[in-house]
Amino acid sequence: MTDLIDGQYEVYKALLDTYSPAEAIKKLRQFGPSEDIIKRIMERYDADMVRIKEMREPQSVVIDNYETWYAGPHPGDKLWPAIEDDLIKQGWPRDPAINSLDDSSTRIVSLLQHPRKNEFSTRGLVVGYVQSGKTTNFTAVMAKAADRGYKLFIVLAGIHNGLRRQTQARLIQQLVQPNPTLWTQITDLDRDFSPAANPASFFGKSNKTHVLCVVKKNATVLRKLVRWLDDASEYLADCPALIIDDEADQATVATKSINPLIRGILNTLPKSAYVGYTASPFANLLIDPSADDLYPEHFIVNLPKPRGHFGTEVLFGRYALDGEDPTEVDDGYDMIRSVPDDDVALVRPKTRADAEDFYPSITDTLRQAVLYFWLTTAARRVRGTGNPHSTMLIHTSVRTAVHNSFRDPLMLLRAKVGTNLSDPALRHELRELWEAETARVPADEFGEKPVEFDDLAAELPGVLRDCRIVMDNFQSPDRLDYENGPVVAIAVGGNTLSRGLTLEGLSVSYFVRAVSTYDTLLQMGRWFGYRAGYADLPRIWMTEELEDWFRHLATVETEMRRDIDVYMTEGKTPMTFAVRLRTHPSLRVTAAAKMKDAVSAQSSYGGQRVQTRYFRKNSDWLLSNQIAARNLVKSALTTNRAEGNGSDGRYMIRDVPSEFVLDFLRDYQFHEKSQECDAKLMAEYIEKRIRYAGTLRRWNVAVMGKPAVAEPDLFDFAPGVSVGRIMRSQFASGADHVDIKTLMSRRDAGLDLDGITTATKDGDIAEARKAQQPDAGLLVLYPIDKVSEPEPSKVKRVPLNAPEHVIGVGLVFPSPANNDSTVAWESDYISADLSGVEIEEEDFSPLDSEDI
């Protein structure tokens, strides 16, 4: 049988000299092998190709605690180096900007599948910041994926022509033009997708180029693309595809037309990776993970916060999170100016019926905003640095009739100011406004050069002469265009300005638009981004209510990103841990249809199992933790005896008062990389549960080791409580720490429960805890041998080699009961519902083995 397979395999490889893999299989069938043999031949070929490809890659690479096939760019790569060169020409500094882009894009590519795998379907999500360079990041990801063998690249570029064209232009500039012979474009600047004849010319073996397609999320366009890919199906078996979904929360989630079509594209591709990019991922995080949908089941990644970026927290500040000192939380820059509620009715119609006949007033606050815009544009001309464009945004309504109604009042204001610049009263008004604003936000605090009023006054006539009043909406023939020289513009618009499109040189915003959801609110904030050369000058006029909403949103973002970081530091996945989103009494997290599968979530540790996996390589640190563990056991023994005799390597002390556990949390030192194991937060949570619900007053403390056999192998916690040390070799290490990856088994989470076996599922353990120990927590201590040689089968591990024996800790918190009074402060969060997800977890016994 083996000889038959070997012979047929050689025939198959010979056919590949002439035909594509799919065509070669067709030819091979003519020689009469069974379908089972053909399957085995294909599997062997796939394994050989991966092996050949990996001759250039390390056999095992660990990036952010993930084993991966991709270790980063190679010297022979062409596409990523071209992007580096382009960014250097644009003035990007190597450190930190280009290095940060290199690191973050490498991380994302490392989470994709090897392009030589026979079949794969990866789904991930990348969370950036509004106006922070997401396009540059996914361009870098595309370049690196192409350098490694991905063939087809489909970019879903929002829902508007403007954004699609802008994205196409960027990709042409950074991917295609530096290496034109490596790319075939299906779309171009002026043409969205239209079916091309002869798919073989794109995907057949004769075409060695990468295929680029940039399309709108438009049902008509996507249907044509699905049909075209379906017609090309016989050529797609060996076509690794990367689908980038820009603004992945818009139109992608819970839509009757677009969502099925995106999934239809993925279904036509045997080898596909779908990666969504967005700064407002709320809808994506709430997709039903158990459904055949676009939930990011394989990874969610935070992009790093760029240096010099104006984000939500920078501008609005945020509220203190649990465990934070409110006095140490930043209040944001003094750049927000208040619009009185009485002004709103003068710049925005009260009802839809009022929109057609609405005529806005130039209120005092709107006048101040416009005058300040002209002043700041003049000041930037004096400086002569930074972005050559200067834009103001006025956003009061989504309705085009309202946008258009602003044209005449604004043009009249421009004319009056332009003809009266020498009027003493107007010059006094302008001087007072400029001096008041520059006093509140001094230029030197931002490293910028102060500009005196008399210097900028000379530039004002030219600014007013150059200033355009632009109505930017889907009906407007006169749109913002930054491609034909420096622009000075006051842009009045709505949805076309709220997604993806960059308002170049945006310095002033007047924003009173009523919104109802987090994602809409966040995307409307076009003032986020970079302000090189004028970092001291941006201002935003809005109502106090909107300012408070943005401050709340900054808090939501911070908590959300902290949850996402758990994936990179704690070894969890989006299928085992759902990101939690704080709710608001007046705003929805996202549209109702996108939240239909969401469930209430705990704000903190309710129902959670947390464990240590990182430890310092420092003797004093490790010895201090040994002392903390011994003190806890000795204190616990003063209230109850220890169950067990060491023969099975475990002891249990029940009903330990919470004050002993709180003392332990104050004394034991968790490594700072442990996102979940925050001693201060855990202690605060326990104290709240005790205060408000009367629960967690008692704990069960367990010691978990090997059977006590030989004296040298024992670790003594207290007289009569000695166990053998367990082995936990290191999975990865840093300059000052080691990582053991997993400490606690699923079964250990039920050590104090009856009827728990290795096969018991997490959900069953949680239900058993509710029934048997609804009010008690579980704390487990693990003595880990300082050498911890790995088992021979653990080829990816090395000895722990710590200077002292290590104490690992696992904690299990019970879920709050429905009538628990702490629900009021714990249930103001929602998350995806993971209850329908079945995860096959390989368990292990802590007595004699370790995780894979």
| Span 555-597, pLDDT tens digits | 999 999 988 988 877 778 899 889 999 888 788 999 989 999 9
- Between strands 152-157 and 539-542, the pairing is unpaired
User: How big is the chain, counted in residues?
Assistant: 852
For residues 264 and 259, give the distance between their C-alpha atoms in angstroms, rounded to a whole number.
9
Q: Strand 806-812 vs strand 777-784: parallel, antiparallel, or unpaired?
A: antiparallel
What residue has token string 């030219």? 462
Lowest mean pLDDT among 245-254, 543-552, 819-828: 819-828
Q: Within the chain, how many helices (H) and strands (E) appear?
A: 26, 30
Amino acid found at 800: L
pLDDT of residue 850: 33
Q: What is the largest CA-CA distance in the chain?
A: 100
Phi, psi of 124 (to 5 degrees): -140, 170
> Which residues, at least 6 apart from 181, have a Cβ–Cβ distance to it below 8 Å?
209
Query: Can you give the pLDDT at residue 53?
Result: 45
pLDDT (mean) for 537-548? 92
Residue 326 pLDDT? 66
Structure tokens at 750: 């039920």
pLDDT of residue 845: 36
Q: Is residue 197's pLDDT more than 50?
A: yes
Full DSSP string of 580-620: PEE--SS-BSS-GGGGTT-EEE-SSSTT-EEE--EEES-HH
Q: Which residues contact 565 (CB under 8 A, 6 or more apart)?
A: 302, 675
Q: Are strands 241-246 and 152-157 parallel, antiparallel or unpaired?
A: parallel
Residue with tokens 């199992």: 609
Of residues 393, 642, 390, the one with CA closest to residue 511: 393
The DSSP letter of residue 185 is E
Q: What percent of the chain has pLDDT over 70?
A: 89
For 626-666, give the secondary structure using H, E and C: HHHHHHHHHHHHCCCCCECCCCCCEEEEEEEEHHHHHHHHH
Taking the C-alpha atoms of residue 590 and residue 249, their distance in angstroms, rounded to an integer, is: 9
In this prediction, residue 66 has a pLDDT band, given cuts at 50, 70 and 90, of low
pLDDT confidence of residue 739? 86
Q: Point out which residues pair with 808 in neighbouring strands.
A: 782
Higher pLDDT, 540 or 324: 540
Residue 93: how many CA atoms within 13 Å on its side-chain side?
6
Integer Rg of the chain from CA: 31
Three-state DSSP state, 425: helix
Residue environment code for 711-732, b if the CB has 16+ CB neighbours within 10 A, otherwise e: eebbbebbeebbbbbbbbbbbb
Query: Residue 259: is it exposed, middle or buried by C-beta count within 10 angstroms (0-12/13-18/19+)?
Result: middle
Tell me, what's the pLDDT at 353? Answer: 82
User: What is the DSSP-derived secondary structure letter of residue 320?
Assistant: P
Look at 48 and 381; give whichever has higher pLDDT.
381
Cis before 96 (ω within 30):
yes
**Highest-confidence range of 184-193, 328-337, 466-475, by mean pLDDT?**
184-193
Q: How far apart are CA 371 and CA 378, in angstroms?
A: 11
Cα three-residue angle 177-180-184, rounded to 5 degrees: 115
- Enter the pTM of the model: 0.77
Terminal-residue alpha carbon distance, the chain:
33
Window from 157-171, 669-683, 835-849 with minimum mean pLDDT: 835-849
Q: Which residues contact 732 (CB under 8 A, 6 or more apart)?
A: 62, 65, 738, 739, 741
Strands (E) in 381-532, as ranges, are: 390-395, 468-472, 488-493, 506-511, 529-530
d(CA 437, CA 445): 14
Q: What is the mean pLDDT of the chain?
A: 87
For the segment 132-147, what is each residue's pLDDT rounded down to a tens digit? 889 999 999 999 999 9
- Decide which of 673 and 102 is more confident: 102
Calpha distance 249→698 (Å, rounded): 44
Predicted local confidence at residue 818, as pLDDT: 59
pLDDT band at residue 410 under the 50/70/90 scheme: very high
CA angle at 700 for the pair 694 and 702, rounded to the nearest 5°: 160
Contacts of 661 by beta carbon, 8 Å cutoff, 6+ apart: 632, 686, 699, 701, 777, 779
Gap between the Cα atoms of 416 and 430, Å rounded: 14
Nearest to 251 by CA among 502, 593, 503: 593
Distance CA 403, CA 524 (A): 15
**Distances in whole angstroms, Cα of residue 101 to Cα of each of 198, 200, 348:** 37, 35, 41
> In 279-363, where do the E strands start and end?
299-302, 309-310, 336-338
Helix axes 679-693, 658-667, angle to 10 degrees: 160
Q: What is the pLDDT of residue 368?
A: 98
Rounded CA-CA distance 601/580 in Å is: 7
Asked if residues 201 and 207 have their Cβ atoms less than 8 Å apart, the reply is yes
Of 773, 709, 782, nearest to 740 by C-alpha is 782
Among candidate residues 840, 699, 820, 702, the one with its CA nearest the CA of residue 762: 840
CA angle in degrees (0–180, nearest 5) for 424-426-432: 100
* Contact partners, residue 88, CB within 8 Å, separation at least 6: 94, 98
Contact 554, 317 (CB under 8 A): yes
Higher pLDDT, 262 or 833: 262
> Which region holds residue 622: left if phi is over 0, alpha if psi is between -120 and 50, else beta?
alpha
CA distances from residue 606 to 124, 682, 698 in whole angstroms, order as listed = 27, 10, 15
d(CA 667, CA 652): 21
Give the position of tokens 């091309």: 196
* CA–CA separation, 462 and 374 (whole Å): 10
Pick 388 or 28 by higher pLDDT: 388
The rounded percent of the chain whose pLDDT value lies above 90 is 54
Residue 79 pLDDT greater than 90, yes or no:
yes
Q: Quick one: CA dihedral 595, 600, 604, 609, positive or negative?
A: negative
pLDDT of 459 > 90? The answer is yes
Contact 543, 586 (CB under 8 A): no
Which tens digit of pLDDT belongs to each residue from 756-765?
877 677 778 8
Question: What separation in angstroms does the CA of 268 have from each of 117, 118, 264, 758?
Answer: 16, 15, 7, 40
**pLDDT confidence of residue 325:** 66
| Whether the Cβ atoms of residue 725 and residue 706 lie closer than 8 Å to each other | yes
The full DSSP string for 385-414 is: -S-S-EEEEEES-S-HHHHHHTHHHHHHHH
pLDDT at residue 19 is higher than 90 = no
What are 45-61's pLDDT values in tens digits?
A: 766 655 544 434 444 45
Do strands 698-704 and 650-657 pair parallel, antiparallel, or not at all (unpaired)? antiparallel
Structure tokens given for 373: 């815009």
Q: Is the pLDDT of residue 399 over 80?
A: yes
How far apart CA 505 and CA 514 sit, in angstroms, is 25
d(CA 594, CA 577): 19
Determine how β-strand 152-157 pairs with β-strand 210-215. Answer: parallel
Contact 490, 470 (CB under 8 A): yes
500 has pLDDT over 60: no
Positive or negative: CA dihedral 17, 21, 22, 27? positive
